[in-house]
Structure 1
């Protein structure tokens, strides 16, 4: 299967958007504090990512599916850490 330029662009965009959460996961993990993170932001973010994942699955967009799975994983880790350290 040949990957076209638009798919490559989507994969790169998804990768960059997704890894943007990694520093927050690391900071929260190391500091053992998530007090600066809003509950409503985290819950809204996770709900939005789930809806993006449903949409991406419906339209069968692999870059969106991959990016949203990883983003949901990272956002969920942050949410779990928020619960654990609260």
Structure 2
């Protein structure tokens, strides 16, 4: 049986991780990446990868799960933004 602290951790992880889903869906639907900060998402993605490593070392399931999913979603935002901006520069060199 799961203890209350693990349950709270899983609930918190679910909330914070799912907060990235609307951004990924928005980019996939519209292709709009104008408001995305590459520096912020780059630093954030590295931080999440480090949190994931921390969770693995501790064997902390909520930390591992939250950061694994968040790493995937944040990486998607970062990669989609880089791809879209590269295409814009390629197609419109004057911009």
- The normalised TM-score by structure 2 is 0.86
Q: Would you identify which runs of 4 or more consecutive aligned residues in structure 1 move more than 6 Å?
A: none
Deviation at 1:33, TM superposition (A): 1.8
Aligned ranges for residues 55-66 of structure 1 at < 5 Å?
55-66=54-65
What stretches of structure 1 of length at least 5 have no aligned partner?
A: none
Match of 2:20 in 1: 21
Give the alignment's Cα RMSD to 1 decimal.
0.7
Number of residue-to-residue matches in the alignment: 85
Deviation at 1:19, TM superposition (A): 0.1
- In structure 1, how many angstroms separate the alpha carbons of the residues matched to 2:71 and 2:34? 20
- In structure 2, how many angstroms separate the alpha carbons of the residues matched to 1:21 and 1:42? 11
- In structure 1, how many angstroms separate the alpha carbons of the residues matched to 2:17 and 2:62? 11
Deviation track 1:20-53 (CA, whole Å, cap 9, x = no partner) reads 0001011111110212111100100100001101
Larger Rg: 2
- The normalised TM-score by structure 1 is 0.95
